[in-house]
Amino acid sequence: MIKIINASPDFGRALTEREINEFLNSSKLNIHLGTIDDNDTPNVHPTWYYFDSADKKIYIETSKLSKKANNLRRNNNIYFCLDDPNPPYKGVKGRGICKIHDNINHNIPIAEKIMTRYLGSIQHPMAQKLMSFVKNGDSIIIEISPKYYSTWDYSTFS
């Protein structure tokens, strides 16, 4: 079980593990990733994701030459945040450790899940283009293993 922290004590409540899984599985919002570059400067990267509730990992598809990939090769610590901007506000943020996957056969089914989640089908023209990068080995999958979640739910104030 992953540690869950209430991000807003005395104001909102923390999400339960079940609610975190539901939120991460159902949301089509971008997840924002925080990395540190080679100048020790923070970088924020909004991106699409897939959450596997069985293994409790978050997966991102990106160019193998992207800033986030380069940052994570140097330092595999990552911070992430996914929050609903509409009342009643709720969200999940946390810290994790990343692993970069460059094996095309491993990456294709994960990338297909990401494309289907955001575009509805891997037949969508944008999905086809992005999948061509995965199939050519120009994209990687970033696997995030969360160390903890900091959550908030303000629905009691709506």
Which pLDDT score, from 0 to 100, does residue 157 have?
A: 66
pLDDT tens digits, residue range 122-141?
999 999 999 999 999 999 99
Residue 77 has pLDDT above 90, yes or no: yes
151 close to 7: Cβ distance less than 8 angstroms: yes
Domain architecture of the chain: domains with CATH: 3-157 (2.30.110.10)
Which are the contacts of 119, defined by CB distance < 8 A and separation ≥ 6? 126, 127
Residue 158 has pLDDT above 70, yes or no: no
Stretch 46-71: mean pLDDT, rounded? 97
> What global pTM score does this model have?
0.94
Q: In the predicted model, what is the mean pLDDT of the chain?
A: 95
The share of the chain scoring above pLDDT 90, in percent, equals 90
Residue 143 and residue 119: Cα distance in Å, rounded? 21
Residue 103 and residue 19: Cα distance in Å, rounded? 32
Stretch 2-13: mean pLDDT, rounded? 88
pLDDT tens digits, residue range 137-151?
999 999 999 999 999
| CA proximity to 57, closest of 103, 34, 25, 29 | 25
